[in-house]
Chains A and B, each alone.
Chain A
Amino acid sequence: MVGLATVFGAGGGTSSYEEVENTDLVILWGSNARETHPIFFHHLLKGVRNGARLYVVDPRRTTSAQWADVWLGLDVGSDIALANAVAREIIHAGLHNTTFIDRATVGFEEYAASVERWTLEQGERVTGVPAEAIRDLAHAYARADRAILCWTLGITEHHNAVDNVLALINLGLLTGHVGRYGSGLSPLRGQNNVQGGGDMGAIPNKLPGFQDVVTDEDARRRFEAAWDCEIPDRYGWHVSAMFDAMERGELRALYVIGENPARSEADGGRATRLLQGLDCLIVQDIFLTQTGELADVVLPAAAAGAESEGTVTNSERRVQRVRRALDPPGNARDDIWILAQLARRLGRDWGEVTPRDAWDELRSLSPMHRGMSYERLEAMGGIQWPCPDEADPGTKFLHARLWEEDPERRGRPAPVSVVEFEPPVEELTPEFPIRLTTGRRLDAYNTGVQTELYASPLRRREALCLSPEDAERLGVSDGEVVRIASRRASLEAPVRIDRTLRPGLAFLSLHQPDEVQTNLLTIDATDPKSGTAEFKATAIRVERLAQVPVGGR
């Protein structure tokens, strides 16, 4: 979100799902959409059946990669090296879109100079991807009439998350694969309202509608007038910065709504310790989560999506109506009701606030949502922002302005950004020789709070997935319980031999923290711009139990 907002001014995926059915080439970069976004993958497969080529860039040969024409199995965290090598090859082959670059971008010369050292050979050395495959991707992407580049947490759960995103956006700008039907840059959101949360201002630097708290003084004034309060003209903290502030003793009280940081934060031991050290922890959730167990006050909430009304926004920027189907159990209340009660006790009486009231207030303050009345949202099955007035059908794809002839209408050019490769924070050493990466499995979700309750026939005991080569080298067999140690913690888990992994790469999910508390192992090195932690790259050692450690390579 931060990357796209930096380059284009709007933090949303540029394309619609339907476009992936009508494009010539799709790159899935750091995304296992087959399992994590299955219905998007239906659209993607329609595209493949319509003749699109599919490239999958992922350290694991995932079920998505198994559908690809070409799988580029790069080393964890070498994405920028790969992107820069692709860029250099495109430029050297003369396949970059000079017309688009001249007209719609700035910073190309500097960028071209910065990628100059990323020859195919250098790319192969750093990423582990054969030079020929890098060249193939570069030529195919640059030559395609239309191409969509999608990414997910494989790109963003790194200490240099925003740089990773910028490196991918650069490729879109270099080739002009943005701002046209069937050409775009699409992050697939991990949660049903992660896009909406950002759009609504639940990020530290923006008011609703991506209006900057500091630089957009007009917007701030409008919100101050509407809310009858003063809004501080400085940026807030993202979650990782909050934990740092707790560490420094600056943040003493925390109000957590619908999150389970005691299990979802990287370096979970530290997160739990900091949560325990707060003067006041309030948790509002549908269940008594592990975080709730640490809380001073727990506010039982209704489940969004089935027990409350409102809207969410999906990965194609479509605002969609959520409706109440069930009565919440016991004393559980709608989040909005709880917030209004809290406000009343803090001296602000908002009266009976309905979700629709809140939405209509948002429409009056966020120009990109203005045309989205509840009636229109229902009649049209959701509307894609921006939708500035009630005659507007919404926007299928963003940034068509970049292709305008008229400089005025073209607007602010998109910066091509110089991004330097940095390896993951944790190096592999003889002591910690295996790269642990994390991710989701098809039938489960995050820390399992929602998914552990249905009887999924696919659910198996959480296990450390190891390549057959590593398992053999370590002398461990399928199902054997081993000790996994990182620089922060160690824990026991059974092994599962997984042929989608390359030697040196291991995998765990976060889904069953009561069985394997993966985040005790992960490192909380975070991206300074987005606050995302490096869940994807931990260095570990695997030991057989009751035996001497089996060492490095």
Chain B
Amino acid sequence: MSVPVPLDPPRRLVELEVDGRPVRVPEGSTILEACRSEGIETPTLCFLDTLTPVNVCRVCVVEVEGSRVLAPACSRRVEPGMKVRTDSDRVRTSRRMVLELLASSVDLSLASPDVGRWMRDYGAEPERYGPPAPAAEAGERDARRAGHHEEPVDGLAATVAQPVKVDNELYVRDYSRCILCYKCVEACGVEAQNTFAIAVAGRGFDARISTEFAVPLTESACVYCGNCIGVCPTGALMFKSEHDLRRQGNWDESRQRVVETICPYCGVGCHVELHVQDDEIVKVTSPLDHDITSGHLCIKGRFGYQFTQRRAPVGASPDPGGPPEHAG
């Protein structure tokens, strides 16, 4: 009963050299793919398999012989005869600087453990910029004018620290953790959701992810699909349930199970991963590598699970006027 399905046309192999080793990869591959095929670890922050690279974090840079500047491995395509160095002093210095500057100004404590390992591997010392400057007041960074230079405080490391934005019951935005990787902007925009509720505002160190005119999410175009949370690498965007449990000191991944099932709503059949702690769903994700969702969900699939527990949102008091208790 099976029928032929057109495959992508066959791709020629391209030969290049990575760190002196000959490598053959299909035409159109990126340097990152070539490195991965050789088992050469390349740090990435703004890269995600399901998104088109935006080349902003610069932590994956490599040296390409004959090229004046370092090239981002995540998006630079291989060419025949290319000579790539991933471990030269120039590459190591550049990667160290990126990690160091980010770690001195952003809270990376919830980023993947890989980040800490890279910091050690590349000898990053964020402490050398001094103790962190005091956190900004709520809304202060949002109000900064483009091009207006803020004088740094002597001896203190400038940071993006600021209060967490909590303006709805579904998810919070903790921009103290934001490394401006653009993934949320891309997932909200052309790469998946096409809602365009957020973008990068401001320039230089004042650059930040913002809704239009920095309005609260509830006044923005946000449709609460949570696809921004799904791609955030540092925990800046987080389920409110997770945020509240962390605040209370009750978030414990060692007590969590992840169960893959199917969203109970419409007929698309999105694969959802229910993260369960103490018999309660504490967050919902979707596998990046499943071709129905590519990791993306809608508001119902991501947040509409309360009915299975008939409980109030974590931290909120139960609605006394709510519907009757479970028939059981």
Contact = CB atoms under 8 A, between A and B. Distances in A.
B69 interface: no
B97 interface: no
Contact of B299 (A286, A287, A314, A443): A443
Contacts of A395: 1-3
B300 A381 contact: no
Interface stretch (A72-80, A98-106, A450-458): A450-458
Interface residues of A, number: 77
Contact of B261 (A287, A305, A330): A305
B244 to A, nearest CB: 12
A332 B224 contact: no
Interface stretch (B32-40, B145-153, B187-195): B187-195
Most chain B CB atoms below 10 A, which of A190, A306, A329, A443: A306
Interface in B176-226: 190, 192-194, 217-218, 222-225
B266 A329 contact: no
B47 interface: no
A349 to B, nearest CB: 25
Contact of A453 (B5, B225, B296, B307): B307
Given A305-B262, A305-B264, A323-B261, A394 B271 contact: no
Contact of B265 (A386, A388, A392, A445): A445
Given A42-B193, A191-B267, A312-B269, A298 B224 contact: no
A304 B264 contact: yes
Interface in B1-24: 1-3, 5-6
B223 A458 contact: yes
Q: Interface of chain A, helix or strand or loop or mixed?
A: loop
Contact of A300 (B261, B292, B294, B327): B327
B290 interface: yes
A444 B304 CA distance: 9
A49 B274 CA distance: 31
Contacts of A312: 262, 269
A192 to B, nearest CB: 6
B66 interface: no
B298 interface: yes
Given A323-B259, A325-B276, A303 B307 contact: yes
B316 A39 contact: no
Contacts of A329: 309-310, 326, 328
A454 B303 contact: yes
Contacts, number: 210
Interface of B: 1-3, 5-6, 168-170, 190, 192-194, 217-218, 222-225, 257, 259-271, 274, 276, 279-281, 290-294, 296-301, 303-310, 313, 316, 322-324, 326-328
Contact of B269 (A18, A327, A382): A382
Nearest to B227: A42
Contacts of B269: 192, 312-316, 318, 320, 382
Nearest to B264: A305
A468 to B, nearest CB: 21
Contact of A303 (B3, B264, B300, B324): B264
Contact of A188 (B268, B292, B298, B304): B268
A388 B1 CA distance: 8
A320 B3 CA distance: 21
A269 to B, nearest CB: 22
Given A189-B267, A320-B271, A329-B326, A443 B276 contact: no
B271 A192 contact: no
A455 B171 CA distance: 11
Given A191-B266, A303-B307, A325-B257, A458 B276 contact: no
A327 B279 contact: yes
